[in-house]
Amino acid sequence: MSEPKTESKLERLLNEGRFVVTGEIGPPKHAGGDGIKHHVELLKNHVDAMNLTDNQTAIVRLSSIAAAAHVLAAGGEPVIQMTVRDRNRIALQSDLLGAYSLGVRNVLCLSGDHQSFGNHPTAKNVYDIDSIQLVQTVKGLRDEKKFLCGEEIKEHEPRFFIGAVANPFGDPFAYRVLRLEKKVNAGADFIQTQAIFDMDRFEKFMAMVRERGLHKRVKILAGVMPLKSVGAARYMQKSVSGMIVPDPIIDRMKGAGDPKAEGVEICVEQIKHLQTIEGVAGVHIMAVMWEDIIPTIVEKAGLYPRPK
């Protein structure tokens, strides 16, 4: 077990060698916090930490950091997602300081969906730095106690457990593992992957990860997403960039008498399978607009109760 770098509960559990479970909450398109609190109550005993998405698909939502404050108040462990789409290096670092001061200990760095997907397609994007450079920046704040410009942080440096994403289903496939390695070199402590439906490709990806020894340097949480209907499955297959949904999954959803139950069943099977893959340190359950189902999935997968 390595020395903890941060006060993150997620880091502690991963260091203890637990198979962790994280969930995801999409903040609302309004200024009310009650829905978030409700979800935290629902999830907090079934997941070890919960992601708060950052204006996902470029649609304006309650900010991930404010949502994280609600999570903390309700007794959950938040992971704030932070995209480099909407903020420059000044705003990103400022928000990192602010989030840490509120008690947030985990951050997930990502590029963010292009604004053309969202509800403000005429917005100007920022992309001052990229996601790998953000990982580096968060590490610099923590380990070197320095801002990106090199200036020293005299006290109270933010000490985040640093996450990044990996998409084994993006192209060029051969480069995906090398790019993961770049993220690890930049300072990523944990990785959450894109939702996995194509298990064969993920197995190949993990074999390459092990070949390069990356699973020993970073904690990889495999992403899963329960499907609600065959329509949702088709949508993921056709319209979501960087996703692969194989036909057999579509067929299973199509043939199901109770598609929701089938979606849960598939997800539970996937989680059980993922637990057998060397180098997978946990699962990240993304139940978009269906957060309530997460406890059922965790219980059926035999991952309940969660460690403290």
Residue 78, both tokens: 């938040």
CA-to-CA distance for 167 and 160, rounded, in angstroms?
22
**Binding footprint of another protein on the chain (CB under 8 A):** 85, 89, 110-114, 116, 125, 127-133, 136, 148, 165-167, 169-172, 175, 178-179, 181-182, 185-186, 194, 241-242
Least distance to another protein, CB of residue 211, Å: 15
**Complex with another protein: residue 15 or 125, whichever CB lies closer:** 125
Least distance to another protein, CB of residue 40, Å: 27
**Complex with another protein: residue 32 or 150, whichever CB lies closer:** 150
**Complex with another protein: residue 128 or 265, whichever CB lies closer:** 128
CA-to-CA distance for 132 and 111, rounded, in angstroms?
9
**Residues in the chain, how many?**
308
- Amino acid sitting at position 275: Q
CA-to-CA distance for 99 and 43, rounded, in angstroms?
21
Least distance to another protein, CB of residue 177, Å: 11
DSSP bridge pairs for 50: 23, 78
**Complex with another protein: residue 150 or 257, whichever CB lies closer:** 150
- Amino acid sitting at position 280: V
Q: How many CB atoms lie within 10 A of CB 156?
A: 10
Q: How many CB atoms lie within 10 A of CB 295?
A: 17
Least distance to another protein, CB of residue 9, Å: 27
**Complex with another protein: residue 15 or 133, whichever CB lies closer:** 133
**E strand or H helix at 221, and its extent?**
strand 219-224
**Complex with another protein: residue 26 or 112, whichever CB lies closer:** 112
Q: Tell how strand 78-83 and strand 106-110 pair up.
A: parallel
Q: Is 271 helix (H, G, I), strand (E, B) or coil?
A: helix
Task: For tokens 């043939």, name the residue.
Answer: 255
CA-to-CA distance for 266 and 251, rounded, in angstroms?
12
Least distance to another protein, CB of residue 137, Å: 8
CB 284 within 8 A of CB 226: no
Least distance to another protein, CB of residue 236, Å: 13
**Complex with another protein: residue 172 or 248, whichever CB lies closer:** 172
Least distance to another protein, CB of residue 120, Å: 15
